[in-house]
């Protein structure tokens, strides 16, 4: 049964601001409709272009969100980690996904029918205000990503990415990551080979230390400086 765990959504309410805006009976309703899913590393949660039926909330693991262009290049636009819900803008526009979501680690997520969530927007003003804030914040991040990727050269973009991973995704330094060099490249808009070369320079300059999956930013001020000067 989907809501066999009685503390399901109530538990998440304590950890995610979005659920705190829901009234008790709304939360119960969401909880009833919820399906718990597990995804292995590399498994697709949803794919760009496909119809969007479900609202997805990540409860454990890590999910990368990326856009694909024709020539099978990818650009990672962000991550979802516990307890983030993935705002799907297409749900309010054309009922299609405009980016893909893939598990980068063993991941569990709750799915709720998109209709259920969207009807909350129409009945709960707090919830809709939260939704607007969420998508607004996402748009603001996209502005920054746009200028970073178009106005900076590779070292600046790589520095941005490392700082982003440390501050926003893993929230620690050093941090463990299972991201591949290709992911690094897809995050900073360059080829895998270029990513490797830039990282090598950073290592040689004593900016970072990379030990397998462990990344340690040794000189954050200098890295921030590289980010600033593009």
Partner DNA sequence: GGGTTGCATTGATATATATCAATGCAATAC
Partner DNA sequence: GTATTGCATTGATATATATCAATGCAACCC
Contact footprint for a copy of itself (CB under 8 A): 67-71, 73, 75, 77, 89-93, 98-99, 121-123, 125-126, 128-129, 131-133, 135-140, 142-152, 189, 228-230
User: Residues of 166-202 as b/e, b for ≥16 C-beta within 10 angstroms?
Assistant: beebbeebbbebebeeebbbbbbbbeeebbeebbeeb
Residue 200 is a binding residue for DNA (CB under 7 A): yes
**CA distance from start to end of the chain:** 52
Coil vs helix vs strand at 219: coil
Closer residue to a copy of itself (CB): 133 or 180:
133
* Residue length of the chain: 230
Q: Residue 90 binds what, of DNA, a copy of itself, none (CB under 5 to 8 Å, by partner type)?
A: a copy of itself
> Least distance to a copy of itself from the beta carbon of 150, Å?
4
Q: Residue 50 binds what, of a copy of itself, DNA, none (CB under 5 to 8 Å, by partner type)?
A: none
Residue 197 is a binding residue for DNA (CB under 7 A): yes
Residue 182 is a binding residue for DNA (CB under 7 A): yes
Structural contact between residues 223 and 207, judged by C-beta atoms closer than 8 angstroms: yes
The residue range among 8-16, 32-40, 61-69, 190-198 that interacts with DNA, by the rule CB under 7 A, is 190-198
> Least distance to a copy of itself from the beta carbon of 123, Å?
7
Coil vs helix vs strand at 221: helix
Residue 194 is a binding residue for DNA (CB under 7 A): yes
**Residue 185, phi then psi, degrees to nearest 5:** -65, -45
Site string for DNA, 109-148 (x = CB under 7 A): ----------------------------------------
d(CA 127, CA 87): 13
The answer for residues whose C-beta is within 8 angstroms of residue 42's C-beta and 6 or more apart is 102, 103, 104
Residue 205 is a binding residue for DNA (CB under 7 A): no
> Least distance to a copy of itself from the beta carbon of 3, Å?
27
d(CA 104, CA 64): 6
Residue 229 is a binding residue for DNA (CB under 7 A): no
* Residue 40 neighbours by CB distance under 10 Å: 10
Residues that bind DNA (CB under 7 A): 153-155, 180-182, 189-194, 196-197, 199-200, 210
């Amino acid at each position: 049964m989907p809501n066999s765990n009685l503390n399901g959504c109530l538990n998440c309410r304590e950890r995610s601001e979005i659920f705190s805006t829901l009234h008790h009976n709304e939360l119960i309703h969401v909880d009833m409709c919820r399906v718990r899913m597990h995804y292995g590393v590399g498994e697709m949660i949803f794919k760009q272009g496909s119809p969007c039926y479900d609202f997805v909330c990540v409860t454990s693991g890590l999910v990368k969100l990326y856009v694909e262009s024709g020539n099978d290049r990818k650009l990672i636009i962000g991550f979802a980690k516990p307890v983030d819900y993935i705002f799907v803008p297409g749900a309010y526009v054309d009922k299609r996904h405009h980016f893909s979501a893939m598990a980068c680690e063993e991941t569990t997520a709750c799915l709720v029918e998109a209709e259920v969530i969207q009807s909350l927007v129409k009945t709960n003003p707090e919830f809709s205000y939260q939704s607007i804030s969420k998508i607004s914040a996402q748009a603001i991040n996209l502005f920054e990503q746009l200028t970073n990727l178009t106005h900076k050269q590779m070292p600046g973009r790589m520095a941005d990415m490392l700082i982003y991973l440390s501050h926003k995704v893993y929230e620690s330094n050093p941090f463990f990551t299972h991201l591949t060099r290709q992911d690094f490249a897809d995050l900073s808009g360059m080829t895998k080979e270029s990513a490797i070369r830039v990282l090598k320079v950073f290592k040689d300059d004593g900016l970072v230390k990379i030990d397998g999956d462990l990344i340690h930013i040794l000189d954050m001020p200098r890295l921030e400086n590289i980010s600033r000067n593009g």
